Amino acid sequence: MTDKNNPFICADWGTSNLRVYLMDGEGSLLEEKKSDQGLLAAKGKFQETLGTLCQQWFIKYPTAPVYLSGMIGSREGWVDARYLDTPYNLQDLPNHLIAVPDQTRPTWVVPGVRHFETDNNSADIMRGEETQILGAIEHLNINDAIFILPGTHSKWVQISNRHIMYFNTYMTGEMYNIIKENSILRYSVDDSRPQLNDAFIHGVDIAQKGTSLLNQLFTVRTSDVLGLLPKESQSSHLSGILIGQEVTHARAHFGDKPIHLIGSDHLTSLYQGALEHLGHETHLLSGDIAARAGLNYLYSNQKNTK
């Protein structure tokens, strides 16, 4: 078991961003730092990147272990931390951490989770979300739930008895950026941030009509050209259509149960608005809180620390 009297260092290391936390032995946050040195920006210099960001912590706490979750464990990351198969008991996650070799302090990377659909020969994967979900069920003290983790690649996850049973990934955030920057809609959608407003809800309602997404997307163009919506509302209109499509499809698999949303305040508020407009009960949890709670669980419950 780990020594709860000593601080530890942990990180949520994604594709674009890096968040590091200095935690005390009881899991309380002492200090945090945020950086744009995600997987892509670090360009393979992971040890140097972490050492620069955490230099003062490393000097002050020379034996503090390090726990890393997210894309840092991918094939392109520091070590390939492989995938664990569903159904997966999240409480076993501390027993499957992967050690980073040749480090002066214990440094551990969290594996991802994969799900296979045997009936249509398809699969899904996650990295980082498993740690946030572990933290959420510990923080909220729940065993069964439906979670949504909005983002570039949004995840819908079914948890039963603290096991990840099933999940779907939606490229909603990435499609928003691709469409906004590279399609005909770039002439209709300005750089304003999508808002939870009438234009967003209008997009959600359009997505419920059952017509093709390709047809629905063109309504952003026509509503601009014909002056049906002001240009400053078109980003919200486009976001509403895409999130509405995601929610419409996911509800067919996950039902109308209450939803726990994990993520940043702005993006989760859009999903909350769409879901509540469609009659869902929702609950919000900060992604930072969930990540820290999950990483603290790993530190507190890891048995093999060599």
- Second-level CATH architecture of 8-140: 2-Layer Sandwich (3.30)
Structure token digits, residue 155: 């995840």
> Would you identify the CATH topology of the domain 170-286?
Nucleotidyltransferase; domain 5 (3.30.420)
From first to last of the 306 residues of the chain, give the pLDDT tens digit: 455 568 999 999 999 999 999 999 888 999 999 999 999 999 899 999 999 999 999 999 999 999 999 999 999 999 999 999 999 999 999 999 999 999 999 999 999 999 998 877 899 999 999 999 999 999 999 999 999 999 999 999 999 999 999 999 999 999 999 999 999 999 999 999 999 999 999 999 999 998 899 999 999 999 999 999 999 999 999 999 999 999 999 988 888 889 999 998 899 999 999 999 999 999 999 999 999 999 999 999 998 665
Determine the pLDDT at residue 4. Answer: 54
In whole angstroms, what is the distance from residue 17 CA to residue 37 CA?
Answer: 6
Q: Report domain extents, the chain.
A: 8-140, 170-286
In whole angstroms, what is the distance from residue 226 CA to residue 241 CA?
Answer: 18
CATH topology agreement for domains 8-140 and 170-286? yes
Give just the sign of the alpha carbon dihedral 296, 64, 49, 56: positive
- CA nearest 278: which of 176, 197, 208? 208
CB 127 within 8 Å of CB 98: no
Name every residue whose Cβ is closer than 8 Å to that of residue 172 and which is 6 or more positions away in sequence.
150, 153, 154, 242, 243, 245, 246
What's this model's pTM, rounded to 2 decimal places? 0.93
Reading phi first (left if > 0) and then psi (alpha if -120 to 50, else beta), residue 305 is in alpha
Helix boundaries (H) for the chain: 39-42, 46-53, 55-60, 129-140, 172-182, 198-207, 213-225, 234-254, 265-277, 287-301
Determine the pLDDT at residue 3. Answer: 54
Determine the pLDDT at residue 256. Answer: 82
Q: What is the dihedral of CA 36, 37, 41, 45, to 10 degrees?
A: 170
DSSP 8-state secondary structure symbol assigned to residue 192: P
CB 220 within 8 Å of CB 188: yes
In whole angstroms, what is the distance from residue 174 CA to residue 152 CA?
Answer: 5
Task: Give the full edge-to-edge strand order of the sheet including 83-85.
Answer: 83-85, 112-117, 122-126
Determine the pLDDT at residue 1. Answer: 47
Strand 83-85 to 8-13 pairing: unpaired
